[in-house]
Structure 1
Amino acid sequence: MASTETGNDHAVELIVRDVSAPEADGVGISEEITPLLTQTEKPKINIFTISYPRRKAGEQVPRLPEVEKSSLTQFILWVWSGSRYSGLLCMALSSTIYFVMGVLSDVLSVQSIPLFETAFARCTIILVSSYIWLRRSGQPIFGQANVRNLLILRAIMGYLSLMSFIYCIQRLPLSQTIVLSFTTPIMATIVARIILHEKLKIADIGGLACSFFGVLFIFRQILTTQGGLVKSGEASNAYARGSNHVYAILVGLFSAITGGLSYCLIRAGAKASDQPMVTVLSFGLLACPAAGICSFAFEDFVLPSLYSFPLVLVLGVLAFFAETFLARGLQLEKTSKVANVQYIAAALSQLWGMSLLSIAPSFGRLVGCLLIVISVSCTLYIGPDKEIE
């Protein structure tokens, strides 16, 4: 039965065949259906239908070039990752870098460069490196609007601490300056308790006291010979130095206090912006031009020689990484704990000097190094506190 319907421009033809028709009609049906089955279409490809060429047993499979990371790079990325111990390890790495800088300065120094000029060179490298870091990472250069006041205060406190520390180096014996500089972790812990409301445990206070007593044991003999601890027979010589010596010591304490304030501002700024690099850049923005002005105003400019110029660059790059890891450590961990880890630089410098026989081993130095190693090891073993944010 067939029927045809026409309407406008379209024609539809309906053909109905009886199922009970003879087998001869089945041939016609199959002839009409067969072209539909044999029609060539593009096969659909998925992951299960792709055929891979067979390779011989001894033939190597070519691989895409992969960037292999060295073990040192993997370790640094692991330390930076923000795990449970990242804050303590970042501060330990920062202190180790400062120790390496001291070793390089003693071993490879071939030219005497003024302190302000040295500070200017390092601050310039810190400024340029931190700027490139932030530009490549797509972070705001001057930080977010809500943390700019913190960054400005951080830059001012860091600059005052640096300038007063340089003044102490010029006016005081080196041992006294080092001892005064190692009061900075104590000042940072006190300021963090007052400003940041950080909780202090007995273990934190004991660790800081143990490490600082270790520093006193290390430099006890030098302090007595250089007049830091005045004997009765040398009272007249100490009085002859007048009030300049006392004034220099007060400046050293001021350097420690401003340094402690700077640590707390670094922690607050890094946590607020979630980017420790902006605190490093803010310090470089102020310290670089200020150190340059002081260098040309108070000292004679010394052009680095061909041999000392690479050393200046290397020390500047190391200073940048040291400041970066310091800011990251303060961002991740409580101030009292990371401040205690800083004392490891004093122990490493003494152990290095005694191993090279440039420093005579003594009972006081050995006891001091042992106290610092025990204190820092206990801090690392106890680990960070479990804080609920």
Structure 2
Amino acid sequence: MATTPSESNDASSQVVELVVHDPSPPSSADSDEKDQIAPLLSDPERPKINIFTASYPRIRPKDEVTRLLESETSPFTQFILCVWNGSRYSGLLCMAVSSTIYFFMGVLTEIFSVQAIPLFETAFTRCTIILILSYLWLRRSEQPLFGTPHVRIILLLRALTGCIAISSFVYCSQRLPFSQAVVLNSTIPVMASIMARIFFHETLKITDIASLACSFFGVLFFFREMLATQGQLVKVKQGSNAYTRTGHHIFAILLGLFSSIMGGTSYCLIRAGAKASDQPLLTVFSFGLFASPAMGICTYIFEDFVLPGIQSILLMLVVGILAFFAEVMLARGLQLERTGTVANIRYLEVALRQFWSLALTRLAPSFDRLIGVLLLAISICCTMYIGPDKEETE
């Protein structure tokens, strides 16, 4: 079928218009698709991403970082962080951990001791290990070894009183029966509270006085029978004209009381030094710096050096490391809490020793021992339950 020229011209014009110009408006589907694709293809405000401009996560807030660390750390680490500075009870908990470590030191010594090592030699080894570990800790944390000038006099007095206390206690332990030496050493928390009242003007509350008295009477109940027996032996010696030994016995008791007074004063100086320097480890280092050579001199003068065996050396190393951590926790507890409140927790060591002896002997406890354990448990639980004052916690 033939077409006219006009029809052919119209057809060609339509073809040219469709291919070249396409004046028809875009459909709604095409416009929507272009609107969605256009921002991805050409957006002047969006930066281009490549391997050199990779985006990194922003710094998390402090609370989020703390929660992340707590979720990633072990339960033991979380417990240590909570004890060190986690709540208003941190001071009491630090002292409780210190007393528990001292208890474990005594248990290890009783179980694994195979050689009789003189007391001054044992103290010298322990103080030397404390000195070395505290020095390495301070160096690693890049802190001054002696603190600021206004703190050095406090650290010096703390070291001197600590040396006098430990040397006096070792001497009276060699001259007195075990029960009397323990009872004299148990007066240190009481002396610390009295010295804190004198030096720091700390208020001794009725609860503090009652707790200390309850704990001390509990210790007396533990050793009542032994003290009565030893008192009768002293009377027998006096009847047999043993005046010289009786005089030495009285001198050892007075020296033990003096050791307790120096120990209580040392507690107060530990608190003062730790608060002034804001670093409880400085008090531990200063004590080791003076006590180590002092115990070495006492070993040379008063005792014969005994070469320890391999097992004794390992035991002394383990006990020395535990003593270091016990001293650090003790200083931290005194830094955070009033002396009159935290000193009563030191009797936890005596209570744990009694529980250990009861479990070890598997014998029916005496009435006096039960009363002593009950008094100590009531006193320590009351101190932990009442806790520190809110305005005095740091």
Normalising by structure 1, what TM-score? 0.81
The structure whose Rg is larger is 2
Give % identity: 63
Classify 1:359/1:298 alpha carbon distance in 2 versus 1 (closer, same or farther; 3 Å).
farther
Structure 2 partner of 1:338: 342
Deviation at 1:298, TM superposition (A): 2.0
Structure 1 counterpart of 2:48, from 44, 49, 56: 44
| 8 Å Cα contact 1:124/1:284 also seen in 2 | yes
Which letter does structure 2 place at the counterpart of 1:109?
Answer: S
Deviation at 1:41, TM superposition (A): 12
Structure 1 counterpart of 2:176, from 158, 163, 172: 172
Name the CA distance, whole Å, in 1 between partners of 2:156 and 2:273: 10
Deviation at 1:360, TM superposition (A): 6.1
Structure 1 partner of 2:287: 283
Name the CA distance, whole Å, in 1 between partners of 2:378 and 2:359: 20
Structure 1 partner of 2:61: none
Deviation at 1:160, TM superposition (A): 0.1
Structure 2 partner of 1:14: none
Structure 1 counterpart of 2:197, from 193, 196, 208: 193
- SS of 1:342's equivalent in the other structure is helix
Which letter does structure 2 place at the counterpart of 1:123?
Answer: C
Classify 1:180/1:264 alpha carbon distance in 2 versus 1 (closer, same or farther; 3 Å).
same
Name the CA distance, whole Å, in 2 between partners of 1:233 and 1:120: 37
Normalising by structure 2, what TM-score? 0.80
Classify 1:40/1:259 alpha carbon distance in 2 versus 1 (closer, same or farther; 3 Å).
closer
Structure 1 counterpart of 2:224, from 220, 224, 228: 220
Unaligned ranges ≥5, structure 2: 1-20, 22-40, 56-69
| 8 Å Cα contact 2:234/2:246 also seen in 1 | no
Structure 2 counterpart of 1:296, from 294, 300, 307: 300
Classify 1:305/1:234 alpha carbon distance in 2 versus 1 (closer, same or farther; 3 Å).
closer
Deviation at 1:45, TM superposition (A): 3.7
Unaligned ranges ≥5, structure 1: 1-23, 25-36, 52-65
Classify 1:50/1:150 alpha carbon distance in 2 versus 1 (closer, same or farther; 3 Å).
closer
Q: Judging by fraction of residues, say which structure has more helix.
A: 2
Structure 1 partner of 2:352: 348
Structure 1 counterpart of 2:158, from 154, 159, 162: 154
Name the CA distance, whole Å, in 1 between partners of 2:287 and 2:266: 10
Which letter does structure 1 place at the counterpart of 2:119?
Answer: L
| 8 Å Cα contact 1:350/1:359 also seen in 2 | no
- SS of 2:307's equivalent in the other structure is coil
Structure 1 window deviating more from structure 2 (158-167 vs 356-365): it is 356-365
- SS of 1:187's equivalent in the other structure is helix
Name the CA distance, whole Å, in 2 between partners of 1:70 and 1:98: 24
1:106 aligns with 2:110: yes
Deviation at 1:291, TM superposition (A): 0.8
Name the CA distance, whole Å, in 2 between partners of 1:192 and 1:366: 32
- SS of 1:74's equivalent in the other structure is helix
Name the CA distance, whole Å, in 2 between partners of 1:85 and 1:235: 51
1:94 aligns with 2:90: no
Structure 2 partner of 1:382: 386
Structure 2 partner of 1:18: none
Name the CA distance, whole Å, in 1 between partners of 2:299 and 2:71: 44
| 8 Å Cα contact 2:162/2:266 also seen in 1 | yes
Which letter does structure 2 place at the counterpart of 1:185?
Answer: P
After superposition, give the CA deviation of every residue in 1:294-335 in whole Å (9 maximum; x if it has no partner): 112221111110111110100000000111100000000010
Structure 1 counterpart of 2:239, from 236, 239, 247: 236
- Aligned residue pairs, count: 338
Classify 1:39/1:149 alpha carbon distance in 2 versus 1 (closer, same or farther; 3 Å).
closer
Name the CA distance, whole Å, in 2 between partners of 1:82 and 1:40: 51
- SS of 1:326's equivalent in the other structure is helix
Structure 1 partner of 2:318: 314
